[in-house]
């Protein structure tokens, strides 16, 4: 896989009409083959609208070495060329339409978080209220520093490697850039995918949050109140979110 410090190259940029023509034909062929696509659809100019999506895209734009390719990636993702994008543990798999009729295959790998960073976020997210807010996209201001910055949970350039089936041997081609921006749009829909991508087991958060909540409920067992009922309802709700019995 190519790393971000490799040599750059320049390729001519296709017209939007050509991209859309190839895109339409590719989607039709994939459907005829019975392949299930998960396209990235952008409405308007903004690629992402939630804190999660915006923060992911902002983090990408701190990669100074990628500046020219990132701009092209924005154009590609807005045009709808990311016809399929799947996020897995430590990996992003995408198909991105380009000048050729066959979409390019993109694979991006992101190094797993260290146990130290996992423990840090567990300590900060050890409340059901905090976890619910995170997953609903209502991001607590006091936790932003945990995700952003050099020591944050968003990936740094040295933690990312990628490959694309296109002939562009640049440090980052526009197809990879489009897929990375596509992740930002996808996080708008489901912030929990960030935890999966970074290899953080969401079940650990649930266990810690519930253990803390049960401890508080036991402390208040002798004095029933509306607050305790709220605690119970929150726990039941969180179990439902993750499909746990």
pLDDT digit string (tens) for 29-73?
888 888 889 999 998 889 999 888 998 999 898 886 777 789 899
- The larger pLDDT score, comparing residue 79 to residue 12, is at 79
Highest-confidence range of 129-133, 191-195, 225-229, by mean pLDDT? 191-195
Cα atoms found within 13 Å of the Cα of residue 9, Cβ hemisphere only: 8
Whether residue 186 has pLDDT greater than 80: yes
Closest Cα to residue 42, out of 178, 235, 199? Answer: 178
Closest Cα to residue 81, out of 32, 9, 15, 161? Answer: 15
């Amino acid at each position: 896989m190519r790393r971000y410090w490799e040599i750059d190259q320049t390729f001519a940029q296709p017209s939007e009409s050509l991209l859309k023509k190839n895109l339409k034909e590719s989607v039709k062929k994939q459907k005829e083959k019975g392949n299930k696509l998960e396209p990235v659809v952008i409405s308007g100019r903004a690629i992402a609208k939630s804190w999660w999506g915006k923060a992911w895209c902002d983090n990408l734009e701190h990669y100074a070495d990628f500046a020219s390719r990132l701009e092209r990636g924005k154009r590609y993702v807005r045009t709808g060329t990311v016809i399929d994008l799947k996020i897995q543990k430590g990996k992003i798999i995408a198909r991105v339409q380009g000048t050729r009729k066959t979409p390019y295959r993109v694979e991006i790998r992101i190094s797993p978080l260290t146990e130290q960073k996992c423990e840090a976020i567990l300590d900060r997210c050890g409340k059901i209220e905090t976890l619910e807010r995170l997953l609903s996209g209502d991001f607590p201001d006091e936790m932003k520093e945990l995700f952003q910055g050099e020591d944050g949970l968003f990936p740094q350039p040295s933690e990312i490697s990628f490959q694309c089936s296109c002939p562009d041997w640049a440090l980052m081609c526009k197809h990879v850039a489009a897929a990375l921006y596509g992740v930002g749009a996808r996080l708008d829909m489901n912030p929990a995918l960030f935890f999966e991508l970074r290899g953080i087991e969401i079940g650990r958060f649930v266990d810690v949050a519930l253990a803390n909540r049960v401890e508080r409920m036991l402390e208040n067992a002798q004095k029933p109140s509306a607050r305790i009922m709220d605690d119970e309802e929150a726990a039941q709700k969180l179990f439902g979110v993750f499909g746990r019995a």
